Every structure is written in structure tokens, then in C-alpha cells.
A and B are shown apart, each in its own frame.
Chain A
């Protein structure tokens, strides 16, 4: 066990935990932020996506010791009220079905749009291919990102 300073959503938390604990479990079990989801544990599904210094990262395979070096943002920190453009567009288009994967989808999409404000389809495909949705909301996710990036045709 070691003490780590975790900067999560702009607030610094001091936690005394196993440094090999994946960030996901520190966020969920120790800090009690439940918006970041466990879907696979091996970076296959993206449900656990958070931002480390603004870049999308899979928290299920990121050791907490490594994450402590970065500013961490979770879905709770993306906006306080659901006013982030991605969240608003997700609601407008009725993207979620069960919604379990959507915090991860939105965190990935937000990072994508930060890096590429006007992504083409190939860029959207490449970025979003790491986030699985078993309900099959992909068409609406793609539509939402296209609209946000100004490339919507419909």
C-alpha cells in the first residue's frame, strides 16, 4: 500500500492503496465515482474511458501509480449538468439505449473532438472502434459526432 495524490475532476484526493490497482477501481471503489464503468478489464470495450491530461485512456489497465502523474477527468467532471456539447447532442439524438457504455463513448468522443474538431469518417471510425456498445447505438454515435464536427449530412 502506498499513498497517492489523485487529481480527479480538479480535486486532489489522497488515497492509500496498492499502486498496481487499476485506476478504474480507485475511481469506483475508493473515490465512489460510479460513472466510469467496468466492462471487460482488458481494454477491449472502452466502458472505463477517462481522460488523462485530456487524452482518452482506458482506466481498467492504467495503474493508479501511473495515473497519479496526470490530471484525471471522469464523466462526472466533463460537465456538472450534462451541458458538454457531446452530452447535449447525445440527448438530442436519443443515442443511449441501456446507457451503460455511454459515459465511455462520450469520454472518447469528447477527446476525439478536442483533438480533431472536424473529424472525417475515417478518423471517427479509428477513434471510436475501441468502444463497444452491445445495444448497437453506433449509427447514432457516429451521427452525433458528425454533427458536432460539422460534417453531418442529415
Chain B
């Protein structure tokens, strides 16, 4: 908050004076706290209350607005509120919110006077001049980028503390004592002379209480008083555990509606393809098959490059049960003819060469410090260079995509496991309205679409980015629209999931360094080519059948959206994930982004662009260290240099700034609590801070007994340690791998150590669980993961030819957390990126080959010339 705005004006602008509550545009937490108590106790509809409901018996229903996909966020956010409220967890139930992005957005009103600067540059994406969002509607329920806790920790605390304060004041008035002499503990308020009362009996009094924002802020607990948060007095609750182990939790496929039919869809194997013809008769001859419906009319292209969340072209078989639909689909398949050009010329082997050619030439500089060319041109200078490659990867969440939709009275109602309730609502609403779902439409159109669809969010059987894209939900809506009144469940097979993902980008990375006498780099050049997901989300010249005007319009949109960029180059988001924030302290730096087109759908997978950026830079660091005969850990710390904030002035594109914070200036949320704080101080957010990177490296070295083991393994043949460290989604992770290599090139991973700095670890057990799982996920793709494409169609099918790590292949994993009371940062995505390079460095240290291309493990039919190892 600028010092020019006094808080009273601010609250008035927020609507406090009017007494009206506008839940669609979140105002201030204090207002919410007041409003919800008022509403609850006065019996206003539950719908008007966004976060918490107090029942007449004092029990608490907490609305969990972020989708649950295994990160434990339902429990974590609710427990944060319960902790501050001093609610007894036994009296808490959770209710999953429907899609309602605006309700859960966190906004401040726009300046009411022209001289009131808002304390952050994060202008709203909604273009609504009245609101400045801290958490935009686009991000309020979008469970992605590891931002749930970062964004809502303070908000939930304020709600809880506001309720506690109101209860305490109500009790104090009832007893005629000073509120300051009362305290709350587990659903009871205790007075100075032994009085006590359950919250239940204080509801009527509490509703009259209107604690101000400042009072609520002042009432927030100190870390040592936390009950569940961090190292609280009691274990953090895990609300869903019992239902999950009993098979009672409702995932997408478990939704059952009267009269529901199941659809399976045979899809065009190539992006942007179209249906030419099909024969429904063989499918209709199968018992239980009720209908055969094309997703688009013959001749009309379906989803693919530049088509956002539009489903691929396809033909659906709709039946009374899954097996009948599956059988019908088998009968249908041979009758279908597709139009597959132009992307049927896409072959991933040839494309890799294209990518490597691109990184062999100069690209667009995205960050520059002095001049690398001069350093490279020094006479007699020692240089080292390497190319790294990461193929397309599929997320393969355990639950294949599935969604249920019913269309009646002009409205769509949807049940789906989705990471992006808002995207799902907008796109299915467009289907309901008969608008060709085009995505990225204007606000008015989006708002109309939201009104036309209700989206119920089920439990997600894993997400990993796949379920950020609602194409499978749009499919259910498209079919429901064609059969009004009949609930339709679209069930994907694992083969569908593997063949119709939004794949993580394929990427080539080129690194070159010149070395000084101390063997540390005097200059570093990194070139990154990656198939940006914006090539899939926004139309471009690779999208067939577009006019020049449409291509131009799309180019303008892209330039203005999410960090900008132009096809076929990376977006600001991708550049900010491990390229522009490269942490090494080197006197001459040039980081470049090179060209890479889209020919299949590209999306994102756990840790996104960090996958290839972390792999390349950390592998290169390991190569330099080993070549120099230095200890990898010491060399890495030397590269990182003295503790500092990465100087963003060296970024070529300053618009990337907001991605530095994942659009989450949490500090700004706390602005009003920072008395006299200067705007730019509180806006600082979470810039790359090398002291945190050093902290995780030092801790993981300690946990892994690095120094002693290095000394011990020096005299042992075939055993070695590798280290890597990476910042992503505002958190810092270091990984040490202890590996053995046999004479016949067989890898054994003995131990993996991983340490995270995520600010305050709110739910410590789930942070540890995310770290364990993140290591497994990282090992999976490093060793085994590869999607290849022939003639535009994905080659792999199921877990037999797209293998993932299994229990018997999983090494001992030791995870740890750097203690901190700083604002919390992400824990879902950050554990994975450092795993692959730490493993590659360990393999090299153990006398194995230097692996510069994933996957590391040889496959019988790969025909690749890359170095490989054997992993059983």
C-alpha cells in the first residue's frame, strides 16, 4: 500500500461503507470476514459465502476452491484457516467448490484517485478497469504452477483470524470482560475467570462483530502458536486419507447419474486433422451401443496446433456401459477415413535434427551481460560446448482423462477432474451457447460462457498438467449438446491418454563456456529451442485454414499475453523457467531462444520448461566440474557465487518480470500490514535468490554425507555421486544421486537425497510426500520417458511402451526441508527438475557415459546414437 492512501479510504473504496457485499469481486479479507459471519448467522444462502460456512451447531464447513490432485491442498488450505480460527478439526468438513473463478479471485479496487499508485505492477488480465487483481480469476482456481499455498496462505489465515477475533469479542461482551483477557482454543473461548464457551453459543454475538483489517492482521498467530501449520502442536490433518484407502473418494469416472451413457471416441491420430467419412453400422450392431456421433461434421478440422483446447477430430460411440462403447469403437475404427495433412509430415527423429540445427545458430538474445563473443575469441582460450536433448513427454496421470456432461434447458452441467475449472467452464459454456469454442476470447464472451455452464470438480487421479487442458471435458459437452437431457460420460483409455496428450515440449539445448585459469567460466552461452505451448494455445501460421488476418490477430494476441513472444519462439513463461533466471555468477553471459515449430499439441508437464533447462545447465556444470577435476558440489557453489538476487536488468525482455513471481506477489497481499513500508519493498515478491540455492546445496550435501562419500568413492570403481540444484516455481531444490555402474553399463541407483527451500513448509508431511513423489517422477522421465512421432501420429500406446518407474526400480529416497518462516512457495513442481541432471552427473562420476539426451536407458528399438545405459 502506498503511504498516500490511508487505510480508511482504501476500505471505503472497497465497499465497506456501503454494507453491500459483492462476492464476485473479492474486496478485502476483513470485509469477507465480516460478511461471512453476518451472512452465515443470518441464514443467507450458502452460495454467497466463498470460503467458510458456520453451521448453527457451530460446526465449520470450509469450501476448498482449489482442485485436489494429490498435493493435499484440500486439507492444507482448510487447516490454515482452521488453525487461525482455532477450530476443532473434528468439527470441520470440507466441500469442494464448483468453478467460479471470479468468486475466488483476490482483487483490490483500482485507485480511486489518480495519485494513488497501487503497490504492484500486476495489472488485471481481465481488463476490468475497476479491479487490480493480486490473484486473477484466471489463476484463482487454476491449480497449476504450484501456487495454491503461495497465493492463499495469507488470505486463509486472515479469514480464520477474523472469525476467531469475532468469537472472542462476542464472548467478552457476553461475560462483560475485556476481549484482550480472553483467548480461543479448539472451538472454545476462555475468559479471565474460568468462563468458557463453545463457538456454537457465540454465533449470534459474533455476527455483530466487525473487526477491521488492521485488527485482524494484528491478531494473526505467531509461528510458535500454530496448531497445524508448519511445526505446529498437532499433526497437519489429512482429510481425505480414509476415503482414499477405502475407495470411497469420488474421481471423475466414479460420477454416476441416472440414465447416463458412456462414450468412447476414436480420434484422428494427427493434429488439426478432419474426419472424411465413417460407417456407423458395425458399431451400432454391438449390444448396448446407442449412438455413433462425429465430434465435428466431416471436412471440419478438429483440435491441434493453434487450436487451444479444441478436441481432436473424432467419432464417438455412445453406449450403456464402458465395455460396449469400447467394443463399438473397435468395430468403428476400420471404417473411418481421416484427412491428415499438413502435420502428417511430422517425424520426431527428423525434428530433433531441426531443433539441434536451430541451437547451432544464433538465436534471439533473452538475457545478456557484457559480451561472450570476445571471451570466446581470446587466443588460446579453453572452451567447452555440448548439446542436450529432451524429447516430448506425456504426463500420464494415473486416472485417464474422463468427464461427464449433461445439456438441458440451454445450459451445460459438467462433472470433471480438472486442474482448470475456469477453462472448463468457459469452453463448455461456449459449447452450450453454440459458439465455436475458440478460446482466448474476450471477457464478455467468457462471462456469457461462464453463465451457461456449471462445473463440479471431482477428485483428480493425478494431474501433472494434463488436466489443465479441458479438451476431454469439451468432448463430453459436445456430445451432451447433441443428446439433450442425457448425461454423457467420455472415458479415455490409457492409449488415448498417451496418444492425445498436450506433450511437454521437445527441446534442444546448446551450451558453450570459455574457461579461465581457475577452470571456472569466463563466458557462458546457452541456446534454448523448445516447442512452445503457445504454438498450441494460440493460432499461428502452422494452424491450417487460417486467413492472413486471423494469423495477424493471433500474433497480436500472443504478443500481449503471458509474457509475450512470437511464434515459433518461446513465451515469457517458458523463458523464465530456468533460462533467464540462470543463477551462475559469470562475467559474460548470453542466453538465447531459438526457433521451434509445433506439429503436435504441446502443453506442459510437472515443472514444464524447467525440465530441459535444469537438465542442460546442471549437466553442463557437472561436466565442467568433472573435467576440471573439481568436487562437483564445491564447483557448483563457485559457479553460483556470492549470495545475491539475480539482476533482472540483464533480461532483454522486461515484461518477463511478472512471471518471475508466477503472478503471485504475496508480499503485496500483505501490503496493508507493512506499516510505512515502501511500495517497491513489498512488491519485491520472490526474485531468484542465490542464498536459498546455496542453502539447499549445503543441506543436501550434509544429508547425503557428500564429502565423506566423495572421498570413499574415489577409490572405488563404478560408484559416484552427482549433484544438481534448481529454482522453479519460487522454490529451491538440490538433489544428490548415489549411483553405481557395472562393467556392462548397468545402472543401480543406491540413494537419492533431495532438499527443498519452500519458505514456510505449511504442511510438512505433504511437502515431504511431494518431494518423494517428485524424485520418482523425475527418475521416470530421465530414465524411461520418450514420446516419438511418425507421420504426425504418436507411436507409443500404454505403460508397456511408455514405461514409468515402478516400486522395484525405486531407490531409497531421503528428503529434507530447509527451515524457514518466510512466505510459503511451491512444492508440487519444484522437486522434479534437478533429478535428471543429478542422475546424469552421478552416472558420469561412477565411470559411466555422459548422458546428454533423455531417456537415459537404452530401448531395443530406439536406433539412437546417443549414449545410453542399461536400467532394469
Given contacts A82-B242, A98-B462, A102-B245, contact A134 B798 (CB under 8 A): no
Given contacts A99-B459, A128-B807, contact A25 B246 (CB under 8 A): no
A98 and B461 within 8 A (CB)? yes
Give A134 to B461 CA distance when docked, in angstroms: 9
Would you give the shortest CB distance from B523 to chain A, in whole angstroms?
39
Chain A, Cβ-Cβ closest to B249: A99
**0/1 interface trace, chain B 757-783, chain A, CB 8 Å (1 if under):** 000000001100110111111001000
Determine if A57 is an interface residue (Cβ-Cβ < 8 Å): no
Determine if A28 is an interface residue (Cβ-Cβ < 8 Å): yes
Determine if A42 is an interface residue (Cβ-Cβ < 8 Å): yes
B254 and A34 within 8 A (CB)? yes
Chain A, Cβ-Cβ closest to B238: A94
Give A124 to B580 CA distance when docked, in angstroms: 45
Give A97 to B776 CA distance when docked, in angstroms: 13
Question: How many residues on the B side are at the interface (Cβ–Cβ under 8 A)?
Answer: 65
Chain A, Cβ-Cβ closest to B460: A98
**0/1 interface trace, chain A 27-42, chain B, CB 8 Å (1 if under):** 0111010111111111
B241 and A91 within 8 A (CB)? yes
A18 and B287 within 8 A (CB)? yes
B807 and A125 within 8 A (CB)? yes
Give A34 to B322 CA distance when docked, in angstroms: 13
**0/1 interface trace, chain A 79-102, chain B, CB 8 Å (1 if under):** 101100011001100111111111
Given contacts A35-B248, A91-B242, contact A137 B772 (CB under 8 A): yes
Choose one: A32, A101, A139; the contact of B810 (CB below 8 Å).
A139
Determine if B612 is an interface residue (Cβ-Cβ < 8 Å): no
A132 and B322 within 8 A (CB)? no
Give A29 to B491 CA distance when docked, in angstroms: 12
A142 and B807 within 8 A (CB)? yes
Residues of B within 8 A of A (CB): 68-72, 238, 240-242, 244-251, 253-254, 256, 262, 287, 321-324, 327, 396-400, 459-464, 491, 493-495, 765-766, 769-770, 772-777, 780, 798-800, 804-810, 812-813
Residues of A within 8 A of B (CB): 1, 18, 21-22, 25, 28-30, 32, 34-42, 44-45, 47, 74-76, 79, 81-82, 86-87, 90-91, 94-103, 106, 124-126, 128-142
B246 and A134 within 8 A (CB)? no
B772 and A132 within 8 A (CB)? no
Choose one: B246, B254, B799, B807; the contact of A138 (CB below 8 Å).
B807
B323 and A134 within 8 A (CB)? no
A28 and B322 within 8 A (CB)? yes
Chain A, Cβ-Cβ closest to B778: A136
Give A35 to B241 CA distance when docked, in angstroms: 14
Give A18 to B251 CA distance when docked, in angstroms: 26
Chain B, Cβ-Cβ closest to A42: B798
Give the residues in chain B near A95, CB-CB below 8 Å: 245
User: Max chain B CB contacts within 10 Å: which of A98, A101, A106, A138?
Assistant: A98
Would you give the shortest CB distance from B447 to chain A, in whole angstroms?
32
Chain A, Cβ-Cβ closest to B402: A38
Give the residues in chain A near B800, CB-CB below 8 Å: 42, 44
Give A75 to B461 CA distance when docked, in angstroms: 17
Give the residues in chain B near A41, CB-CB below 8 Å: 493-495, 798
Give the residues in chain A near B323, CB-CB below 8 Å: 18, 21-22, 25, 29
Would you give the shortest CB distance from B783 to chain A, in whole angstroms?
13
Would you give the shortest CB distance from B773 to chain A, in whole angstroms?
3
Give A60 to B186 CA distance when docked, in angstroms: 47
Give A135 to B495 CA distance when docked, in angstroms: 19
A25 and B321 within 8 A (CB)? yes
Give the residues in chain A near B807, CB-CB below 8 Å: 124-125, 128-129, 131, 133, 138, 141-142
B399 and A98 within 8 A (CB)? yes
Choose one: A18, A34, A76, A94; the contact of B241 (CB below 8 Å).
A94
Give the residues in chain A near B249, CB-CB below 8 Å: 99
Given contacts A30-B321, A75-B247, A87-B246, contact A44 B799 (CB under 8 A): yes
Given contacts A97-B70, A100-B398, contact A34 B799 (CB under 8 A): no
